[in-house]
Chains A and B, each alone.
Chain A
Amino acid sequence: MKAHWLKAIATAAVALLSLGTAQKLTFWHYWDGANGQVLQGLIERYQKEHPGVIIEAVFVPGGELLTKLQTAITARQTPTMAISDLVAMPLLTQSGALAPLDDYIRQSNLNLADYFPGPLVYGLYRGKRYSLPVSASNLGLFWNKNLFRQAGLDPNRPPRNWDELLRYAKQIKEKTGKWGIELFTQGGEGTTWQTQVYFWGAGAEFLNANNIAPAFNSPQGVRALQFLVDLVQKEKVAPVAPWGLFGRGEAAMVMDGSWMTQFFPQQVNFELGAAAFPYPAGGRPATNMGGEQIFIFQNADAAAAKAAWDFINWFSSTPVQVEWDRSTGFLPVRRSVANDPAYRAWVSNARPLMRPFVDSMAFARPRPPVARYPQISDIFAKYVQEALLGRLSPKEALDRAAQEVAPLLR
C-alpha cells in the first residue's frame, strides 16, 4: 500500500517537473496533406513516449520554405530544426547557421554506412556533416501495356537498353501512331534532371570530381544528348511538347518519379508497367534522386539541440523510417529499411509498381551539391532545348553550356 503511494507521488512529481521544464522544439517543414498528417501522428507518438518534449511542427509551403529560412537566419530567429529539399542544402550548409551533427552521430552510434550513398552527399561541407536524409524519390521508366500490345510488343517486357528503347518506340509509332516516348522538353530543372539520367547512364559525369568544373561536354555526354536529339529529330518518336502525353495515352513510355506509382493508377485508363530506366550497351544503371534532409540550427541552446537530435535520431531509426515510407510512399534512405521484410512485403502487396524504384536507390545519384546548382541547371536545360529543337548540334550545345557554367563554379 505504502509503495503504491510513493510511486504515485513520484510519478506526479516527475510529471510536474517535466511540465515546468518541458523542452519545446519548433520544426519547420513543407510536408502537406497526407504526409503532414503522418508526420503529426509520429510527433504525437514521440511526445507520448518522451514526456517533457513538445515539438511544434510548423507547415511552410514548399516554395516559401527557403525564403523563410533566409529571413529567419538573417534575423537570428531560427526554429530549432527544419527540413529542406536537397537542392537548397549547399546554400544552407554554407550559411554557417546549421549545427554540425558529427558528435551526436558518434554518441548515438548511428551507422552512416547503412545509408544509400546518394542522399548522404548532401549535408557534408568541409568535412563536417550538417544534415541527414529522411526521405527520397527517384526516376524510372513507366510504360503503357495497352499500347505495347497494340504495337505487337510483349506488354510485360520493358526495354532494357537504349537500342531496345528506340526499337520499341519506332514500332509503337509505326503500329499505333502514338509517340514512342515522352521527354520533358519544357526546360528548367525538369529537363535537366531527366537528361542527367541519360548522361549518367551513358557514363558521362555532370560536373568534375570536386564539383569545380563542368564535365557534361565529354564524348559520353555528347553521345547521350545525340540519342535524345535523334529520338526527336531523326526518328521522330518523341515530340517537343508540353508535359502530360503519357498520362493521356498519347505516348507509350515516359521517365517519371517514384511518387507517380501512387498517382498514375488513379489517373490513367490503361495498364501500367514500371521498371528501372534503361541504359546503353557499355553504360551503367543510373537514376536521379530527390528528397529531404533534416538539420538543427546553430542558434538552438544546448538542451534544445540535444532534444532535437534525440528526435531526429528516433525519426531516422529503421522502424520509424519503415512506417514513414509506408505511409507516405517516399523511398527509403537506408538499406535496412529497403531490406526490411515488412517493408518489402508492403511494396509487393500494396505498391508493386514501386519495387524497381526501391531497388534503384542503390545506384541513385544526387545532383551535384553546389550552391549555384539552380542557375547551372537552367543553363544546361536551355542548351539541351537548343539541341532538341535542332538549332545546335549536341557537341556545340554542350560546349556552349560548359562555357557559361564554368564561371559559376569558380
Chain B
Amino acid sequence: MGTFNFYPALYSLYLSLFEWNGLSPTREFVGLANYTRLLASGEFWNSLWVTLRYAGGVTLLALALGLGVAVLLNQPMRGQALYRVLYFLPVITPTVASGVVWKYLFDPTQGVVNRGLAEVGLVGPSWLSDPSWALVAVIVVGVWKRVGFNMVVYLAALQGIPKTYYEAAQLDGAGPWQQFRYITLPLLAPTTFFLVVTALIDAFQVFDLVYVMTSGGPLGGTDVLGYYLYRQGFRYSELGFASAVAYVMFALIFVVTLMQFRLTRGGQEDG
C-alpha cells in the first residue's frame, strides 16, 4: 500500500520543483517557480474562487435540504421507505452518468428544466453556456447528489435523540418549532459538523461533474481546482506545474481537516 500511496505523493512533490512536459528527456529544475507562477496566475485565483463558491453552495444547500428531508421522513408516513430510497439514489448513481443526463436536462431549448420554467411563465437561461449560470447548474447537480447522504446521516442522528426530551418539552408547552430549535438542532450539532467537513473535502475535489458537464467553461466559470489541475497536467502536459497545483489543493484540504479535528474536539468537551 505504502508504495502505491506515498511514493507517488512524494514523487509529485519532487516533480513540483521542475518544469517538465512528461515527455522531454530533460526536466529543468525551477525550485519554487511553479508555486510563485501559480500564485501570480489569475486563472488559479479564479479557480480557487469558483471552488469556494461551489463548495460553499453545495455544502450549505445540501445540509439544509438534507436536514429538512430527514425531519420529514422521520415522521411516520406512508411509503417512507420508498422516499428514503428515492432521495438516496443520486448518491450511488455514477457521477459521470448523472452529469451526462443533467447536461440534457439543462439544454436551453430541449431540456426539462427550461421547459418546466416555461410552464410557469419564466424564460430559463442558457444554463451551461452562460458564464453566470453554469456554476449554478453544476451546484444544483452537486446538491442533488449530496442531499441523500446528508439525509441518511441526519436520520440516524434524529433517531438517536431520546423521545423523552420531546415529551418533557410538550409538557412545558413548547410548540413544534421550539422543540426543533431547542432540542433537535443542538443535539444534531456534532452530526452537522461532521457533514460540513466531509462535504467541504468532497466539494474541494470535484472533477468528474465539471469534466462531463462544462469542461471548466464557459469562460472559466466552472473551472474548479480539480479541473484546473487536470487541464494543466493532462491537457497541457505541464506535469511540474500540475504537481504544484496538487500540493496547494492538498494544503487547503489539510487546513479544512485540521479545523474539523479542532471543532469536533471542542464539541465533545462541551457535550
Q: What residues make up the interface of A, taking CB atoms closer than 8 Å to B? A: 66-67, 69-70, 73-74, 91-92, 94-97, 185-188, 239-242, 248, 250, 371-372, 374-375, 378, 382, 385-386, 389
Query: For residue A97, which residue of chain B has the nearest CB?
Result: B23
The answer to whether A386 and B219 touch (CB under 8 A), given A67-B234, A185-B129, is yes
A156 to B175: give the CA distance in the assembly, Å. Answer: 76
Note all chain B residues with C-beta closer than 8 A to A239.
126
Enumerate B197-223 residues with CB–CB distance to A below 8 Å.
215, 217-220
- Give min CB distance, A86 to chain B, whole Å: 15
Indicate if the CB atoms of B237 and A91 lie closer than 8 Å.
yes
Indicate if the CB atoms of B21 and A187 lie closer than 8 Å.
no
Query: For residue A69, which residue of chain B has the nearest CB?
Result: B23
Indicate if the CB atoms of B23 and A73 lie closer than 8 Å.
yes
The answer to whether A70 and B23 touch (CB under 8 A), given A186-B129, A250-B109, is yes
Q: What residues make up the interface of B, taking CB atoms closer than 8 Å to A? A: 21-25, 103, 107-110, 126, 128-131, 215, 217-220, 231, 234-238
Indicate if the CB atoms of B129 and A240 lie closer than 8 Å.
yes
Query: For residue A70, which residue of chain B has the nearest CB?
Result: B22
Indicate if the CB atoms of A242 and B108 lie closer than 8 Å.
yes
The answer to whether A94 and B24 touch (CB under 8 A), given A186-B129, A187-B215, A240-B129, is yes
A70 to B126: give the CA distance in the assembly, Å. Answer: 39
Note all chain A residues with C-beta closer than 8 A to B131.
389
A64 to B23: give the CA distance in the assembly, Å. Answer: 15
Note all chain A residues with C-beta closer than 8 A to B237.
66, 70, 91, 371, 374
- Give min CB distance, A72 to chain B, whole Å: 10
Add 8 more A-B contacts to A94-B24, A187-B218, A242-B126 (CB < 8 A).
Answer: A70-B22, A73-B23, A95-B25, A186-B215, A186-B218, A187-B215, A240-B129, A385-B219
Note all chain B residues with C-beta closer than 8 A to A385.
217-219
Note all chain A residues with C-beta closer than 8 A to B21.
91, 371
A375 to B43: give the CA distance in the assembly, Å. Answer: 13
- Give min CB distance, A407 to chain B, whole Å: 11
**Neighbour of B235 across the interface among A70, A250, A374, CB < 8 A:** A374
The answer to whether A241 and B126 touch (CB under 8 A), given A67-B234, A389-B131, is yes
**Neighbour of B217 across the interface among A95, A96, A187, CB < 8 A:** A187
Note all chain B residues with C-beta closer than 8 A to A185.
129
The answer to whether A91 and B23 touch (CB under 8 A), given A185-B129, A241-B126, A375-B236, is yes
Note all chain B residues with C-beta closer than 8 A to A91.
21-23, 237
- Give min CB distance, A384 to chain B, whole Å: 10
Note all chain B residues with C-beta closer than 8 A to A375.
235-236, 238
A378 to B228: give the CA distance in the assembly, Å. Answer: 12
Indicate if the CB atoms of A96 and B24 lie closer than 8 Å.
yes
Residue among A242, A374, A389 with the most chain B CB within 10 A? Answer: A242
Note all chain A residues with C-beta closer than 8 A to B110.
248
8 residue pairs from A and B, CB less than 8 Å apart: A91-B22, A91-B23, A95-B23, A187-B215, A242-B107, A374-B235, A375-B235, A378-B235
- Give min CB distance, A245 to chain B, whole Å: 8
- Give min CB distance, A229 to chain B, whole Å: 15
Note all chain A residues with C-beta closer than 8 A to B238.
375
- Give min CB distance, A71 to chain B, whole Å: 9
A166 to B235: give the CA distance in the assembly, Å. Answer: 35
Note all chain A residues with C-beta closer than 8 A to B217.
186-188, 385
- Give min CB distance, A297 to chain B, whole Å: 12
Query: For residue A245, which residue of chain B has the nearest CB?
Result: B109
Indicate if the CB atoms of A374 and B23 lie closer than 8 Å.
no
Note all chain A residues with C-beta closer than 8 A to B129.
185-186, 240-242
Query: For residue A64, which residue of chain B has the nearest CB?
Result: B234
- Give min CB distance, A392 to chain B, whole Å: 11
A69 to B25: give the CA distance in the assembly, Å. Answer: 13
Residue among B131, B215, B218, B234 with the most chain A CB within 10 A? Answer: B218
